[in-house]
Amino acid sequence: GQSLEQPSEVTAVEGAIVQINCTYQTSGFYGLSWYQQHDGGAPTFLSYNALDGLEETGRFSSFLSRSDSYGYLLLQELQMKDSASYFCAVPGDSSYKLIFGSGTRLLVRP
């Protein structure tokens, strides 16, 4: 089956850099996705890594190591609005399905 592990909570200071880790177990692998969800809001897609390495999109970067079944989301120049929950996700037993981690709640302090 598939499973993902990520820390439940991370706290960081405005302007700092934070890394949210995700380890996964999956029988097949298409890629690792990241979603952001603000309190009371809908999850929104952030990034997708199919190949090893770092993908950068503005202040956010996502990394994947398929040999280690590991990835992370890197948030730079943290802003208060980055306070949210972040979910990693991998495909399930079909390419249509996503299996989500339990989420990491990021709190950005002034």
Partner 1 sequence: DVKVTQSSRYLVKRTGEKVFLECVQDMDHENMFWYRQDPGLGLRLIYFSYDVKMKEKGDIPEGYSVSREKKERFSLILESASTNQTSMYLCASSSLGIQDNQPQHFGDGTRLSIL
Q: Is residue 7 part of the contact set for partner 1 (CB under 8 A)?
A: no
> Which of 7, 12, 19, 48: binder of partner 1 (CB under 8 A)?
48
Q: In angstroms, what is the minimal distance from the CB of 100 to partner 1? A: 4
Q: Is residue 71 part of the contact set for partner 1 (CB under 8 A)?
A: no
> Which of 13, 17, 50, 80: binder of partner 1 (CB under 8 A)?
50
Residue pointed to by tokens 């880790």: 21
φ, ψ dihedrals at 82, nearest 5°: -80, -10
Structure tokens at 57: 């999109």
φ, ψ dihedrals at 80, nearest 5°: -55, -35
Secondary structure E strands in the chain: 3-5, 9-13, 18-25, 32-37, 44-49, 53-57, 60-65, 70-75, 84-91, 98-100, 104-109
Q: Is residue 97 part of the contact set for partner 1 (CB under 8 A)?
A: yes
Q: In angstroms, what is the minimal distance from the CB of 48 to partner 1? A: 5
Residues that bind partner 1 (CB under 8 A): 8, 30-31, 33, 41-45, 48, 50, 87, 91-92, 94-103
